[in-house]
Structure 1
Amino acid sequence: MQEAVAILQKYWKHDKFRSLQKEIIDSVLSGHDTFALMPTGGGKSVCFQIPAMMNEGICLVISPLVALMKDQVSNLQKRNIKAIALTGGIRSEEMIDLLDNCQFGNYKFLYLSPERLQSDWILERIKNLPINIITIDEAHCVSQWGHDFRPAYLKISELKKHFPTVPFLALTATATPRVKEDIINELGLHEPQVFEKSFARENIAYMIFEVEDKLFRIEQILKKNPQPSIIYVRNRKSCLDISSQLNSLGFKATYYHGGLSPKEKDKNMQSWMNEEVQVIVATNAFGMGIDKANVKTVIHIQLPENMENYYQEAGRVGRNGERAFAVLLTSPSDIIQAQSQFINILPDKKFLNLMYVKLCNYFQIAYGEGINEQFNFNLHHFCLKYEFPTLKTYNAMQFLDRQGIISLSQEFSEKITLQFLISSKEVIRYMSLNPNDEEIILAILRTYPGIYEMQTAFNLQLIAKKSNHKETEIQTVLHKLKEKEIVEYHSKNNDATLIFNEVREDDRTINRVSKHLENQNQLKKEQLQSVVHYISEKKVCKNKLILHYFGEITTVDCGICSFCITKKIKKKDVSLLSTAIITLLQAEDLNSRDIQNKTKNSPDEVIGVLQDLLENNTILVKPNNKYTLRS
């Protein structure tokens, strides 16, 4: 182990290993298959990087995220360690050169996605490499009970046939007991050594606040904690809106989402990493592999889809060991919105059957035919033709892809991105001078209100339908606006390649897989219900709730979460504040911010007492979010 410590000191500048790192490294060096559950920030990458450096040969790292691979390869290269990632967009000739480098160039790490293993020629080349460890990062993706199932992960176990003596190391930050068992079985781990680090993060205060004005509460939190912060939102528009509002309030903020170009992503991320801005407002596209030690607050302003995602995103605070805050702001409508966002878009058996039949009809495939037929496919055109909801249809197609009934060659992307380069006043002037273009431009502006601020994904068929014009007419107007430098306009082919892997059998095809669809939908509902339970349970420590979800039992309250803080308020103080609030409400109806200002108490104290008064039916909340006494 002295050699391992020497490598840690030389390349990573640390003098000792963190909890469980040494034990996991010992297990791998001894040739054992190993399963390691290490929550976010636990230092998983060192567990395979150190033993790989100690052995002859190359470490194969299977990872689902391009950003994560690029980040780790970049960090290794900065330490003068030779590493390569086979990411998307690399031409076959270039990939052959990279694999030659792995074979003859003394490289230590080869990163690739599980989907790459489905290419026979890549697998053949890998079989000839001197592999010393096979690391499966984000291993929960192998489990159909996990929160991020990737069908390609199921193929990884086939590597066991080609590398029977090479140790497998499965790493994950989030796994319930059921998912852990699934990972071990699906990857074919042989008598694995199992290491599980506690999910407890003693320096993180998990805070749930019920608020009427989320922006006002964000402002208070950021003023109180001026250190680096992340605000997680559910969509791209919210990224832009919240960061813009924060900048107008005097905070320095930027944003990050999947629709930005790689250059914009890197620029915005670096401005936050270098602390040129305090806040980055992001969708869940941000964060994997980002290791910034001094993040003080992570704020969620909408409910996450499941506790696994929440724990991982919240866990990006306080990696320096100092007190940090994971805040979730809720309001009464959040549960309904989450239901609409995550559950209502799940396809049931009836919709799946209808969509499959229409898909076959769309390509004129007769009953009993269609196997191995390949087509270009445009999701938006298909959904418009049959008036299907896009997200539900996409989820249904993803399900059929996972079951092997069809194959989709790529993720769907919007065909056009568009941004107006001139002010709204100038656009109005242009429309007055070009009345023939007015209906199309107005349809665009009404559909995409953020199109002045950023490159916006654009649905040509939708605008054609809204403006009652042909698609060719829309394109003509867009080209004209581009020539006049009124818009920045990029067009690309977004047709996916769709392959039918089975003959068309309609009901028989869908009946065969419908039970799994029901199980998957039920899992999604249970996962969201766990989030609802987490925010709604007001009589249990928040840290206890999180640990219990991941199969850990503790009898000790954390002492720093929103529940524990509320519990610490003296009963006498609660009684006095309760009386003061009732007296105020006898004179007029007030919202929580008015009550806070008038009583000079903290938001947490006011909200805690208001909740008690609501539960005791002393007061009620009116539709305008003001509190009033019950008559």
Structure 2
Amino acid sequence: MIKAEEILKKYWGFDEFRTPQKEIINAVLSGSDSFGLMPTGGGKSICFQVPALMKDGIGLVISPLIALMKDQVENLSKRDIKALALTGGISSDETITLLDNCLFGNYKFLYLSPERLEQDWVLEKIKNLPLNLIAIDEAHCVSQWGHDFRPSYLKINRLKEFFPNVPFLAVTASATQRVKKDIIEQLKLEKPAVFQKSFARENIAYMVIETEDKLHKIEQILKKNPESSIIYVRNRKSCFDVSNQLQQLGFKATFYHGGLAMKEKAKNMDSWMNEKVQVMVATNAFGMGIDKANVKTIIHIQLPENIENYYQEAGRAGRNGEKSYAALLVGPSDVIAARGQFIAGLPDKEFLKIVYIKLCNYFQIAYGEGINEQFPFNLNHFCSHYNFPIIKTYSGLQFLDRQGIISFTQEYSEKINLQFIIESKEVIRYISLNPSEEEIILAFLRTYPGIYEYQTAVNLSLVARKSNNSEEQVEQVLNRLKEKGIVDYIAKNNDAMITFNEVREDERTINRVSKYLEKQNDLKKEQIEDVFQYVSNHEICKSRFILEYFGEKNTTNCGICSYCISKKEKNNNSNQLSQLILNKISEKPYSSRELEKIMDCKEQELIFALQELLDEEKIIILPNNKYTKA
């Protein structure tokens, strides 16, 4: 068998593994179930990709994140490793074709969402695949105590029945002790080898900075640290606004969010990755699969909704091992605003039911119908139409997505409605004169049989795949056909896609998942309270707070966070004040009130310094309550 290091060198160009990658790989190769808790940037994907490449057969990777699946498949393809992903919006026929390709096409990886395993016919197809490994990515989703729990993850353990000798590997970047225990139990891992890397990032200085003028503070931070930076903001509008403000201040900045067109995303990402701009202003849609080693500073302008997310986002700094900063800027009203956003914005069962029913009505889905139907979606328009609060509605749609009732994909999309407006014989004549366009035109005609009769919603990426062309080439052909009066097509921009994963059953659907809603709401309240503690607790090192949150014991102060620095400054100030007191009372005795006026310091600081000097027996109190040197 080829060695793990040879695979690593051949495909990734590295000579050695990071701890505990090699140990996890060895456990998988020995056939053992394994659990890997590795902080962000620790290289989790290599832990399942390398052993799957070393063995005959296919590695099955279960992941809840479409963007992450696409990113990993793309990265594997760049390395000439055959991989495919079953994402939402793919028809049953195409899914069957892809799974057949997986069996007979020499593929090494199959990525799919946990919801796919709930489809019996998909499971039947997977049962026939020669799997060598089953990897569960983002495994915290298995636990009801995890920050992104999905009930569909609970059914992954069904694969144990069909693949009793195939090792399971569960990996996550953030899990408390309670979540870790729950993952192992829910997945039915058998005597798993557990690998847990410390959450400590010794080179990251966690800074909580209280400020009334956040833009001015950002300007100070970026001037002091002119290297690559990420600024995380809450919404898409803030992305543009903050990026624009920074440009006006003379910084090179760009922005990124889920609503950008793919070309603009790629352009902005390229500018930042290749050092053409210093600052990327982004929502939390940015970061999946990003491996930029020299990020010096991460700045959060608003409070995160939980410590897990904050740790992952802050952890994108300093992957080169050099000192870096994770600054959380806190304004006077931020805690009140966060309560309003995260707690008041939690949907209850009644609101969730109304949103679901109105969503079905919005797309004219009849009771008992709708499964696998997909629609472009604009959240603002939907909320405006029904007078719904945006944050609460967004939370409700996210919950329905996690339950697998819908797939709520927050990606920019172009809905294209297409119709051929000349007779079929004229289209055939055009094809004979333009043979280079034949495959694309025939792909449209074969995929959408009603395309002569009426405007038909078409999927460009599907046509591109079927005709072995790029989406750009398909668009070029469409534009030429439109110019020549052969087709009529309309493109509409949307900021999301909604796919209905089951038939509409209104109350029955919501009643089934409402038990999870209450538990998740309680968990979210707990988590935001922990965030409030993180920013308001002035009695503990910020790094220790995070480590203890994740269950690590015997921690020590980091020495570089905002708490540790303030403590050093206090000690320095205290030492200076003590020396000034000693110098003054060597001339003559003074009372504390007299010293307070002379030293021009706060009463508490003076009392603390006098107490220390008394404890050290450097001064004494005279009968007249004045201090003098001992």
**TM-score normalised by L of structure 1:** 0.72
Q: Which segment is superposed worse, 335-344 or 144-153?
A: 144-153
Q: For residue 51 of structure 2, what is the aligned residue in structure 1?
A: 51
1:144 aligns with 2:144: yes
Give distance in 2, aligned partners of 1:101 and 1:207.
Answer: 50
2:593 counterpart of 1:566: no
What amino acid is the match of 1:490?
K
Deviations 1:451-486 (A, max 9, x none): xxxxxxxxxxxxxxxxxxxxxxxxxxxxxxxxxxxx
Give the match for residue 68 of structure 1: 68
Unpaired runs of 5+ residues, structure 1, are: 418-487, 578-608, 617-631
Report deviation, 1:96: 4.2
Question: Which residue of the partner structure matches residue 337 of structure 1?
Answer: 337
Query: 8 Å contact 2:370–2:500 — kept in the other structure?
Result: no
1:298 match: 298
Residue matched to 1:122: 122
Measured in 2, the distance between the counterparts of 1:81 and 1:333 equals 51
The match for 1:234 is: 234
Deviation at 1:35, TM superposition (A): 0.8
Aligned to 2:324: 324
Q: Separation in 2 of the partners of 1:80 and 1:22?
A: 23
Residues 269 and 414 (structure 1 numbering): CA distance in 2 closer, same or farther, change over 3 Å?
Answer: closer
1:431 corresponding residue in structure 2: none
Match of 2:267 in 1: 267
1:288-327 deviation digits (Å, cap 9, x = unpaired): 1111111111100100000000000000011111111111
Distance (Å, rounded) in 2 between the aligned partners of 1:169 and 1:201? 24
Change (3 A) 1:569 1:400: closer
Contact 1:136/1:169 (CA < 8 Å) preserved in 2? yes
- Residue 221 of structure 1 is matched in structure 2 by 221
Equivalent residue number for residue 490 of structure 1 = 492
- CA 1:224/1:351 → structure 2, altered by over 3 Å: closer, same or farther? same
Cα shift readout 1:335-365 (whole Å, capped 9, x = no counterpart): 1111121111112355457768989999999
Partners of 1:401 and 1:499 in 2: how far apart? 12
SS at match of 1:42: coil
Report the counterpart of residue 155 of structure 1 in structure 2.
155
Partner Cα distance (2:108, 2:99) in 1: 12
Q: CA deviation at 1:576?
A: 7.6
CA distance in 2, matches of 1:105, 1:500: 33
- The total of aligned residue pairs comes to 505
Q: What secondary structure does 2:270 align onto? A: helix
Deviation at 1:551, TM superposition (A): 0.5
Q: Which residue does 1:283 correspond to in 2? A: 283
Q: Tell me if 1:309 matches 2:299.
A: no
Q: Distance in 2 between matches of 1:291 and 1:413?
A: 21
- Whether the aligned pair in 1 keeps the contact of 2:239 and 2:256 (CA below 8 Å) is yes
Q: Is the 8 A contact 1:73 1:84 kept in 2?
A: yes
Indicate the SS of the match to 1:244. Answer: helix
Look up the SS of the partner of 1:332 in the other structure. coil
Is contact 1:557-1:564 (8 Å) kept?
Answer: yes
- Indicate yes or no: 2:504 matched with 1:541: no
**What amino acid is aligned across from residue 283 of structure 2 in structure 1?**
T
Question: How is 1:309-388 mapped onto 2 (pairs within 5 angstroms)?
Answer: 309-349=309-349, 351-352=351-352, 387-388=387-388
Equivalent position amino acid for 1:271 in 2 = S
How far the C-alpha of 1:271 sits from its partner, in A, is 1.2
Provide the secondary structure at the position in 2 that maps to 1:45.
helix
Q: CA deviation at 1:73?
A: 2.4
Structure showing greater Rg: 2
Asked if residue 203 in structure 1 is aligned to residue 209 in structure 2, the reply is no
Does structure 1 conserve the Cα–Cα contact (< 8 Å) formed by 2:259 and 2:410? no
Deviation at 1:217, TM superposition (A): 1.1
Confirm or deny: 8 A CA contact 1:203 1:318 kept in the other structure. yes
- Identical residues among aligned pairs (%): 65
For residue 569 of structure 1, give the secondary structure of its aligned residue in structure 2.
helix
- Matched AA of 1:226: P
Contact 1:547 1:554 in 2 (8 A): no
| Alpha-carbon spacing, 1:491–1:544, altered in 2? closer, same or farther (3 Å) | closer
Change (3 A) 1:111 1:350: closer
2:164 aligned residue:
164
Q: CA distance change for structure 1 residues 117 and 261 in 2, over 3 Å: closer, same or farther?
A: farther
Alpha-carbon offset, residue 100 of structure 1: 3.3
Deviation digits for residues 356-383 of structure 1 (CA, Å, limit 9, x no counterpart): 8989999999xxx966687999887876
Other-structure match for 1:40? 40
8 A Cα contact 1:360 1:504, kept in partner: no
Query: Deviation of residue 385 (structure 1)?
Result: 6.9
The question of whether the paired residues in 2 share the 8 Å contact of 1:376 and 1:498 is answered with no
The CA distance in 1 between the partners of 2:385 and 2:185, in whole Å, is: 43
Deviation of 1:129 after TM superposition, in Å, equals 1.4
Structure 1 counterpart of 2:406? 408
Secondary structure of 1:50 counterpart: helix
Aligned to 2:584: none
Q: What residue identity is the alignment partner of 2:117? A: L
Q: SS at the partner of 2:61? A: strand
3-state SS of paired residue (2:44): coil
Amino acid at match of 2:560: I
> Aligned partners of 1:54, 1:575: CA distance in 2, in Å?
61
Residues of 1 paired with 2:60 and 2:413: CA distance? 35
Q: Do the aligned residues in 1 keep the contact of 2:152 with 2:403 (CA within 8 Å)? A: no
Secondary structure of 1:72 counterpart = helix
Call closer, same or farther: CA 1:11–1:361 in 2, change over 3 Å.
closer
* Residue 6 of structure 2 is aligned to residue 6 of structure 1: yes
Bigger shift: residues 203-212 or 390-399: 390-399
Other structure's SS at 2:3 match: helix
For 1:416-427, what aligned pairs fall within 5 Å after superposition?
none
| Deviations, residues 213-261 of structure 1 (Å, cap 9, x unaligned) | 1111111111111111100000000000111111111111110001111
The whole-number CA distance in structure 2 between the counterparts of 1:182 and 1:6 is 35
Letter in 2 for 1:113: S
Q: 1:260 to 1:123 in 2, by over 3 A?
A: same
Q: 1:259 to 1:564 in 2, by over 3 A?
A: same
Once the two structures are TM-superposed, the CA of residue 81 in structure 1 deviates from its matched residue by 2.3
Write the distance in 2 (CA, Å) between the matches of 1:326 and 1:409. 33
- 1:169 to 1:339, Cα distance in 2 relative to 1, 3 A: same
Distance 1:514 1:27, change over 3 A: same
Q: Which amino acid aligns with 1:241?
A: D
Q: Secondary structure at the match of 1:250?
A: coil
Q: Distance in 1 between matches of 2:501 and 2:86?
A: 24
- What is the DSSP-based 3-state SS (H/G/I as helix, E as strand, rest coil) of the residue aligned with 2:53? helix
Residue in structure 2 matched with residue 246 of structure 1 by the alignment: 246
Paired residue for 2:532?
532
In structure 2, stretches of 5+ residues that fail to align are 416-489, 578-600, 609-630
Q: TM-score, normalised by structure 2?
A: 0.72
The residue correspondences of 1:362-511 to structure 2 (distance < 5 A) are 387-396=387-396, 399=399, 407-408=405-406, 410-411=408-409, 490=492, 497=500, 504=507, 510=511
Whether the 8 Å contact between 1:231 and 1:299 is mirrored in structure 2 is yes
Shift in CA distance, 6/410, structure 1 to aligned 2, threshold 3 Å:
closer
Contact 2:259 2:411 in 1 (8 A): no
Are the structure 2 counterparts of residues 339 and 64 from structure 1 closer, same or farther at C-alpha, using a change threshold of 3 Å? same
CA distance in 2, matches of 1:270, 1:574: 49
Rounded Cα–Cα distance in structure 1 between residues aligned with 2:319 and 2:566:
26
